[in-house]
Amino acid sequence: MDRRALLLGTVFAVAGAALPLRAQDARIEAVASFTILADFVREVGGDRVRVVSLVPDNGDAHVFEPKPSDAAAIARARLLVVNGLGFDAWAERLARSARYSGALVVAGRDVRRVEAKADSHGHGGRDRTDPHGWQDPKDAAVYVRAIRDGLIGIDPAGRAEYEKRAADYLARLEALDAEIRALLAPIPAERRRIVTAHDAFTRFGKAYGIEFIGLHGLSTESAPNAKDVAAVISRIRKEKAGAVFFENMGDERIVDRIAQETGARIGGTLYGDALGGEVRSYIELMRHNAAAIARALR
Ligand SMILES: [Zn+2]
């Protein structure tokens, strides 16, 4: 082997070794305020994006208190994805205090306005719209499109990939919607009433014809007082809720008490505002909730 070939060989070997590293470094750093948004970013971004969620698995975004490491994660990121609608206002405050200069996607900004229940006493943003947009796959599609456009904005070279991945995922959301509709269709009209810890499921209820009674109102910030609980108990006795559900990020004692005092069946756990446990993705979350409701109300 002559000297030149040897030299070339060395150059190729070095370049070859450097490639995977470079591909990794080139990934877009994204931060999502909570786990469900992070899943959407992962679905659309694929290998081009690395995303972290500030609120952890089973965490409660309504009452989240960011740590210094969360500010540091935002400061490093090129894309910040938040829900908006008053759900995670702390995330934008954190971005300001971290002097974040990257792109911001308010993923829930363009979802349909669904009025929060009049008796909700938590916050739901200034216009009182229900901020839990992901609880209806049709609204989740709005989030996905906003995230797709945000990624294209900061990484135009990835446009084709983001468009393809988003289109595939949107098709899966449509199939998910049809699947849930079919699963819940046989539930008799008089059984379509459920008690949950907080009002996360208004959009799910509208989409699939289930009435949800939330104990905490729209946010988990305020604990229900004795009067609220007594009112819910008498309402359940009168209207016969089919089941009472825990939430994966919620306080279980209140649900237990309601079940004991009303004799309503405990239907298990619904995933409201966070992934966690065996529920690793948004699609798994919706499937889990629909299956649990179908089982409890049949
Ligand atoms: Zn919530």
DSSP string, 137-193: HHHHHHHHHHHHHHHHHH-GGGHHHHHHHHHHHHHHHHHHHHHHHHHHTTS-GGG-E
Across the range 175-192, mean pLDDT stands at 96
**What residues sit around ligand 1, an ion, with C-beta below 5 angstroms?**
200, 273
- Please tell us whether the domain made up of 24-178 is placed in CATH 3.40.50.1980: yes
Give distance in angstroms: CA of 226 to centre of ligand 1.
21
Kindly report, as residue ranges, where domains of CATH 3.40.50.1980 are found in the chain: 24-178, 180-297
Cα–Cα dist 143/202, whole Å:
17
Q: Is 128 left (phi over 0), alpha (psi -120 to 50) or beta?
A: left
Cα–Cα dist 232/20, whole Å:
58
pLDDT at 1 over 50: no
Cα–Cα dist 261/238, whole Å:
13
For the chain, give the mean pLDDT.
87
Give distance in angstroms: CA of 190 to centre of ligand 1.
26
Give distance in angstroms: CA of 284 to centre of ligand 1.
18
Please report which confidence band the pLDDT of residue 8 belongs to, taking 50, 70 and 90 as the band edges. Answer: very low
Give pLDDT, residue 218. 62
Percent of the chain with pLDDT over 70: 86
Percent of the chain with pLDDT over 90: 66
pLDDT at 22 over 60: no
Query: Domain 180-297 - what CATH class?
Result: alpha beta
Cα–Cα dist 186/109, whole Å:
34
Give distance in angstroms: CA of 113 to centre of ligand 1.
16
Give pLDDT, residue 283. 98
Could you give the C-alpha distances from 262 to 45, 126, 189, 196, 292, in angstroms and in order? 47, 35, 20, 14, 20
Answer for the pair 173, 36: CB distance below 8 angstroms, yes or no: no
Q: Token pair of 292, please?
A: 């649990």
Cα–Cα dist 53/33, whole Å:
6
Residues in the chain: 298
Give pLDDT, residue 226. 79
Cα–Cα dist 274/38, whole Å:
10
Give distance in angstroms: CA of 20 to centre of ligand 1.
40
Give distance in angstroms: CA of 42 to centre of ligand 1.
22
Give pLDDT, residue 197. 82
Give distance in angstroms: CA of 166 to centre of ligand 1.
25
Cα–Cα dist 247/85, whole Å:
21
Cα–Cα dist 272/114, whole Å:
17
pLDDT at 17 over 90: no
